[in-house]
Amino acid sequence: MNIIKIQTSNKYTKKLISVFFIITAMQLGGCANLGVQPWERDLLAKDEMALNADAIDIGLDEHIYFSKEGTSGGRSFAGGGCGCN
Amino acid sequence: MQLSKSKKITALLATATCTLLNAGAQAQETKSENDWQFDTAILYYGETDRVSLLEGVISATKDFGDQRVLNTKLVIDTLTGASATGAVSQPYAQTFSRPSGDGQYTTSPNELPLDDTFKDTRVQLSANWTQPIYKDTRVNLGGNISREYDYLSVGTSVSAESDFYNKNTTALFGLSYQFDSIDPVGGRPIGLSTMVVNNGQFGAGDAGDAGDAGEDAFEAAFDQTRITDTDDKSTVDALFGLTQVINRRMLVQLNYSYSTSSGYLNDPYKLLSLVNTNGETQSVLHENRPDSRAKHSVFAQTKYAFDNAVADVSYRFATDDWEITSHTIDSKLRYNLSESDYIQPHFRYYQQSEADFYRPYLDNTDALPIFASADYRLGEMTAITVGLKYGHKMNNGHEWGVRAEYYQQDPKNAGFENIGVLASQDLYPSVKAFILQFSYSF
């Protein structure tokens, strides 16, 4: 009885895994539909659209928050770095 | 026939556009190949009655073409002022030994104990090299070193990123290793040892006097609570990132990072008050934190280009095995006033829960815990930042900016009872800071 149960649950797990893979594959396929053609990058190519625009400001802010709050990192490596009080 | 002709024209137009775009990109490269790009900034950070910091940054970037980029950065900062020790305020004056053991400081009645001896200068150097290794795949190699009076930090990082789907998707995987060496003033206090304060119980005599037996006895007792050699900590970070262009105006980034630290994770200058049932301080102890910490964080960022503005919104969720969970929302809106001027309002909200070993004070009727810290930065708190930046691009292509921000931290009581005299004390005072920054790029 137990063996049947395990086999059934294994079946379900396998089904779940394949469903998960199908969804992931569809998502990745979806990524192919997202995005732009190279000649549509006029706005994305602007300096202010870069993810690290204001890199100097971000670096200075992260140093402040690193030394004043309990959490750091996320955007890039959290690292160690200073004995700031 | 008509259809195939129009197809041909479309293809020709696309080719022409690509050629033009490539030509533009090449011209850009030729210009930047010979030039260093410098980004500099000076920042003042000042808390009301507490720490103030002056920090300067010079970043130099050189594009060697073919996506090979070198960035070097020098940061120098100097910190002065007072920092909350973690000890509670009392309705009477309190005397503490300075971290070095050399001298004392006294806190007035109902005043939060602050150690005003902090004065430190830090110099940090870092370099990063980006190199393409295969079609649409780049490797970043980084190194950094940071030195201050009682602290040395050396680190290295490596990451690889690949573009897919017409460069609309970029995946990144990176690892970093950081080694920190700590050599606190006066040595490392033994965790949860009692701070030795010379209240005259060691007998008369100051150091240097003929009869300095009292001072010698104090120093001997003080040294009993200290370990003099340096200690260190190691941090390994792993970062997985995915960036996706959504459409002509929008892109998103999603990061997961895991960070593990081990070694000396205490703050050697932080204290805890041991109080009686009436909330009166009986002695002051040195904090003791666990010697390892594992953190997970998820970071999501999106940027959206309006016709005259760019919105930048990010959210970070972080959790760790010290039981600190935090949420951070950060948003900026860059609004272009003209071709050469912009303003950028900034808003940030931060909220964290307390570490499982956080205690605002210890009760002397309870057994001492193994780990305890009263550092408010490990307690429950919220913080907000509001700011405004103005930027201007000059005719020669140089750019300057000025940024003013207000930052306020509001520590909260995470359900601890304020016993006896502590009921009349402000154990969770707010910290208010002003930030002013000037930047110049050329």
Stretch (H or E) spanning B363 = strand B362-363
> What is the structure's pLDDT at A80?
55
Residue B410 lies in a domain: yes
Query: Residue B337 pLDDT more than 70?
Result: yes
Stretch (H or E) spanning A13 = helix A2-33
Closest C-alpha to B350, from B406, B404, B410: B410
Do B269 and A85 count as a contact with CB atoms less than 8 A apart? Answer: yes
Residue B170 lies in a domain: yes
Sheet containing strand B271-275, strands side by side:
B281-286, B271-275, B362-363
Residues in B touching A39 (Cβ below 8 Å): 14, 17-18, 21
Residue B128 lies in a domain: yes
- pLDDT classification of A70: cutoffs 50, 70, 90: very high
- pLDDT classification of B371: cutoffs 50, 70, 90: very high
- pLDDT classification of A12: cutoffs 50, 70, 90: low
We report the CATH number of the domain holding residue B405 as: 2.40.160.40
- pLDDT classification of A23: cutoffs 50, 70, 90: low
Which structure tokens are listed for A84? Answer: 């700031």
Do A57 and B437 count as a contact with CB atoms less than 8 A apart? Answer: yes
Domain count, chain B: 2
Which structure tokens are listed for A36? Answer: 């732009």
In this structure, the answer to whether residues B92 and B16 fall within a common structural domain is: no
8 Å CB contact between B161 and B137: yes
Q: Position of tokens 């150091």?
A: B207
Do A81 and B155 count as a contact with CB atoms less than 8 A apart? Answer: yes
Residues in A touching B63 (Cβ below 8 Å): none
> What is the structure's pLDDT at A11?
59
Q: Tell me how far apart the alpha carbons of residues B207 and B199 are, in angstroms, rounded to a whole number.
A: 15
Residue B211 lies in a domain: no
In this structure, the answer to whether residues B388 and B410 fall within a common structural domain is: yes
> What is the structure's pLDDT at B9?
45
Residue B243 lies in a domain: yes
Domain that holds residue B155: 37-190+225-441
pLDDT in tens, A27-67: 555 555 689 999 999 999 999 999 989 999 999 999 999 99
**B94-97/B188-189 β-pairing:** unpaired
Residues in A touching B402 (Cβ below 8 Å): none
In this structure, the answer to whether residues B241 and B376 fall within a common structural domain is: yes
- The residue type found at B182 is I
> What is the structure's pLDDT at A52?
86
> What is the structure's pLDDT at B136?
93
In this structure, the answer to whether residues B285 and B433 fall within a common structural domain is: yes
Residue in A with minimal Cα distance to B324: A70
Residues in B touching A69 (Cβ below 8 Å): 326, 350, 352, 377, 381, 383, 409
Q: What is this model's ipTM?
A: 0.88
Q: Tell me how far apart the alpha carbons of residues B165 and B262 are, in angstroms, rounded to a whole number.
A: 40
* Nearest Cβ partner for B169 among A31, A64, A68: A31
Residues in A touching B252 (Cβ below 8 Å): none
Do B39 and A56 count as a contact with CB atoms less than 8 A apart? Answer: yes
**Cα dist. B268→A23, B375, B411 in Å?**
50, 11, 21
Residue B198 lies in a domain: no
Mutation target among A51, A62, A72 for the B interface, most CBs of B within 10 A: A51
Residue B218 lies in a domain: no
Residue in A with minimal Cα distance to B441: A56
Residue B417 lies in a domain: yes
Which structure tokens are listed for B19? Answer: 């050629």
In this structure, the answer to whether residues B21 and B108 fall within a common structural domain is: no
> What is the structure's pLDDT at B200?
85
Q: Residues 6 or more apart from A37 whose CB is under 8 A from it?
A: B166
The angle subtended at Cα A82 by Cα B53 and Cα B263, nearest 5°, is 150
In this structure, the answer to whether residues B276 and B292 fall within a common structural domain is: yes
Q: How many CB pairs under 8 A join A and B?
A: 192
pLDDT in tens, B50-104: 999 999 999 999 999 989 999 999 999 999 999 999 999 999 999 999 988 888 9
